[in-house]
Structure formats: structure tokens, C-alpha cells
Amino acid sequence: MEVLFSGIIKGGLLLLDPMTLFLIMAGTVFGIVIGALPGLTSTMGVALLVPVTFGMSPAMGLALLGAIYCSSTYAGAISAILLNIPGTPANCCTMLDGYPMTQKGESGRAIALATAASAVGGFLSIFALLFLAPPLAEFALKFGAQEYFLLAIFGVSVIASLSERNMVKGLISGCLGLFLSIVGMHPLTGDVRFTLGIAELYDGLPLVVALIGLYSIPEVISILESKQEKVKQSWSVGRGVFTQMMEIFKHKILLFRATVIGIIVGIIPGAGCSIASFVAYDDAKRFSKNPSMFGKGSPEGVIASETANNAVVGGSLVPALTLGVPGNAVSAVLLGGLMIHGLKPGPALFIENSAIVYCFILSLFVSNLVFVPVGLFIARYCARLIETPASILGPLVIGLAVMGSYAVNMSTVEVWIMLAIGMLGYLMKEFDVPREPLVLGLVLGSMAEGELARAMSLVHGSVSGLIHSMLTSPISLIVIGLTFLSLWQGIKKHLPS
């Protein structure tokens, strides 16, 4: 405890440097722009600025990168709410209720809720990083390949409750998502599968490209078909914003649960912000007094999703800093930034470089405070986009979708893939097939297949050996139990009463 407090004091003194505070501000603005632009992810934003930190002191460089991570994870909610295009994959769950709120004329409220929930989720997860890092990291180490596989299956089981109208269509959509995620090379054998000879698909279907196509093109068709010259609403972000933000505290238990889910999912390597937000969303729906409102503009849906995905930030840094095992892709890039500055991740980091590490952790607190006003200010102008007539907004969204999918790998082939996925998304919308299960399958599929392959190789390819191994592991049994519970909750809704 003494080491902790002396580290916090030393780190706090480093943080008070005006240049460090300026860099946190600059990183927050940059992160919000990156996060709000569809196609640009948090990972890309952090990776782009790692070389910029070479000339800085380690504390300043890490504060800058941390600010980008925090703010970009939040900012994806802005375009998810206003345009129904998630700025980053982490925010695809926010669209489910954020965009319906916009359609109802409540975009300002949705953004205020998302901002406040993101700040609370992020803030609490940094507390967890500060105080719970060592014991939580030890727990995550107990997860093996079979537990990760079961965790992915548990994530997929959420599909049952995401399919409101027709569960069979929802399950087909989820399986299609899982199938699309395995396009490309097998994680162990390296065999190339289902790529149709397209070299760009060897590494798999790019998630960002798929998300852009799936949600932007059908939405453009829908606004152009509606022939309404102005999409209803509001550039009311900023009016009564404080009261709207305070609304999240009416859902204290939801905030707490979503934060805990985000932190736990963040700690588990391989899982990420999108999984956390889907699990938290499902959990919020189960315990809500108005579950039928979910998907139709429920504030609870926005709060759950945004709290959880920002709570992943602190969680993902727990194994990254204490064990050198990144919780997700962004923390992996951050870890790279740490090592570039000569810091070696591990338990010793907190003793040998305590001032720098605690300065970094404290800078995340500051970033979570800074992105609230900055995010609301930027969102206020983004919200005006909605007032643009459909005949102008439609082509601009397609232009942005084309640019966003090109920016991922600087390849026009990926733009064609985006259009193809856009057509699939349109057909799904036309035939009333939910798109959310497909996204969930796409996010979890590669993790499920990779971990299954590893688990199978550990038991020499024996299916009975794998089942035996699962049934004798307490963690596996808990995850299996949770999966069945999740499936049953979904099926129960479709049974005649």
C-alpha cells in the first residue's frame, strides 16, 4: 500500500507538468475525431501516434497515447447515435438504441447519456486498474484455450435474446457472422478458405469494412427511400445537457454491472470492447423493467453499451501492465509504445518505474474528465449533420463509407467488399433478418475457431478428451452454465405463454 501511495504522489507530480496536460488535451481531441470517423479505429489512432512520442519523455508519450485510447473508444458513439454508423467496432451495440433515439428526436439526450456513461465506465475501470490490477491479472491467467472458446460461445448465446421477432432468422444471421469470420487462413494450419481467390481476404474479412457496409449503405437507402427532405431532429446537444447527463445516475445498478462486465471482459485477453458492450447490453435487457423498449430507443441500452466499452479501457491495461499480456489490440499497441520508451511490462514495472506508470494511470483519469466537455462540444456540431437534407446526407455518407473502408488498408478491393456487405445488409433489412447477431458472430468467430483449434490440439484431436477436459474444469463449467442460462432466457421469450 505504501508503494502504491508513494507511486501515486510521484506520478501526480509528473502529471502536473503543463506540457503533459496539453498533450492529454491534444490526444483527447485527436481521439474524438478518429473515433467519430467511421473506418478509423482506436488501434489505428494509437498506432499512428506511437512514432510521434519518440521525442517525448515516457510519461508524456504514454499520457498522449492513453488519452487517444480513452477518447476514441467513447467518440465512436457519436456517429453510431447520429448516423447509425459505428465510429469504431466498440460502438456497434450503441447503435441499437442510440439511433432509434435520434429518430425519435432525442439525439442530444442520447449523446449526453453516452458521454456520461463512457466517463463513469472509464473512470471506475481506471480505479480498478489502480487497485485491483495484480489479483485480477492472476485470475485471468487461469483461462486456457477451452475457456476462451467457451467464452466466445457464451458471447454468441446472446444472439437468442437479440432476435426479437424471429429467433430462427436471428440464429441464421449469427451463424452467418461466425461463418464470415472464418473466411481466410486457418489460425493453426494456414489453409486458405472461402476467399473466392481474393488475396485481401487471406487475413480474414476486415471487421471495420464489414461494419461500415452493413450499417451505412442500408441506412442511406432507407433515408433516400423515405423521401423526407429533413431527417427529424435536433442539434439540441448542449441544451440542458447537464440534466441529461445526470440521468445516468437513475440507473446506478446498471452502471455498476456494466462497469464490472467491461472490466472483466477487458482483463480477458482477446475479448474486447464490442464483446463487453454486447454482454452488458444483454444483461441490461434481462434486468430492465422495460425490456421491450430495447432496440427502440431505450436510454438503458445506450448507458449499458457505452459504460461497458469504456470500462474495457482500464480492464485491458491490467494484464498489459502487470503481465505484458495485452487485453486487446489497442492495449497491445500501447504496450509497444511502453517498450519503445524502455519500460518492461511486469510486476516490477510498478516498483522500478512507479512514477511513470502511475502518471500514465492518473493521466487516464484526466482524459476521462477532459473528453466530456470536448466530446459534447464536437458532438454539438456533428449533430447538425442530421438536419442535412437526405439528398445531400445520403451521398456524403456513401462518400465517407468509401473513404473509411479504403483507409483501413489503402485498397479499393476493400471498398468493393464493403459494397458487397452493404448489399447483404440491405437484403437482411428487407427480409427482416436482424443484423446484430451477424456482427456478434463476426466479432467472436475468429476467437472461437482459433481457441477451439488450440484446445483440440491440446487433447490430441480427441473430441471426447475435450469434453472431459471441459467438464472437469470449474471455470469451464461456470461459463457453460452461463451459456445455457443465456440461451434459456432467449428461448423463454419465444415460447407461447
The residues binding another protein (CB under 8 A) are 33, 37, 48, 168-169, 171-172, 175-176, 178-179, 182, 186, 188-189, 191, 193-194, 217, 220-221, 224-225, 229, 389-392, 394-396, 398-399, 402-403, 406-407, 410, 412, 415-416, 419, 422-423, 426, 431, 448-449, 452-453, 456
469-478: burial string, b at 16+ Cβ within 10 Å, e else: bbeebebbee
> Which residues are CB-contacts of 150 (< 8 A; sequence separation ≥ 6)?
470, 476, 479, 480, 483
CB of 285 to another protein, least distance (A): 23
Task: Report the residue number, 24 or 159, with the smaller CB distance to another protein.
Answer: 159
Half-sphere exposure of 276 (CA within 13 A, CB side): 39
In angstroms, the CA 97 to CA 302 distance is 6
Task: Report the residue number, 306 or 451, with the smaller CB distance to another protein.
Answer: 451
Read off φ and ψ for residue 194, nearest 5 degrees: 55, 35
Handedness of CA 361, 363, 369, 371 (dihedral sign): negative
Angle at 388 between CA 305 and CA 430, to 5 degrees: 60
Give the amino acid at 133. A
Task: Report the residue number, 187 or 336, with the smaller CB distance to another protein.
Answer: 187
Beta bridge partners, 193, equal 184
| Helices of type H across 158-298 | 159-162, 167-181, 207-225, 241-246, 252-267, 273-287
Could you give the C-alpha distances from 251 to 120, 276, 377, 403, in angstroms and in order?
12, 18, 25, 38
CB of 42 to another protein, least distance (A): 14
CB of 189 to another protein, least distance (A): 5
CB of 139 to another protein, least distance (A): 28
CB of 10 to another protein, least distance (A): 35
CB of 401 to another protein, least distance (A): 9
CB of 429 to another protein, least distance (A): 10
CB of 494 to another protein, least distance (A): 12
> Which residues are CB-contacts of 46 (< 8 A; sequence separation ≥ 6)?
65, 68, 69, 72, 330, 333, 334, 337
Read off φ and ψ for residue 192, nearest 5 degrees: -95, 125
**207: which DSSP letter?**
H
Smallest CA-to-CA distance from 68 within 30, 22, 40, 15 is with: 30
Task: Report the residue number, 222 or 288, with the smaller CB distance to another protein.
Answer: 222
In angstroms, the CA 115 to CA 82 distance is 14
Task: Report the residue number, 268 or 419, with the smaller CB distance to another protein.
Answer: 419
CB of 18 to another protein, least distance (A): 24
Could you give the C-alpha distances from 342 to 16, 46, 89, 443, 457, in angstroms and in order?
22, 18, 31, 33, 36
Task: Report the residue number, 98 or 206, with the smaller CB distance to another protein.
Answer: 206
Handedness of CA 33, 36, 40, 41 (dihedral sign): positive
Give the amino acid at 466. L
Task: Report the residue number, 176 or 343, with the smaller CB distance to another protein.
Answer: 176
CB of 477 to another protein, least distance (A): 22
Task: Report the residue number, 185 or 293, with the smaller CB distance to another protein.
Answer: 185
For residue 382, the surrounding DSSP H or E stretch is helix 354-382
Task: Report the residue number, 138 or 225, with the smaller CB distance to another protein.
Answer: 225
DSSP state string for 67-87: HHHHHHHHHHHHHHHHHS--S
Task: Report the residue number, 176 or 312, with the smaller CB distance to another protein.
Answer: 176
In angstroms, the CA 311 to CA 262 distance is 5
Task: Report the residue number, 180 or 248, with the smaller CB distance to another protein.
Answer: 180
CB of 469 to another protein, least distance (A): 17
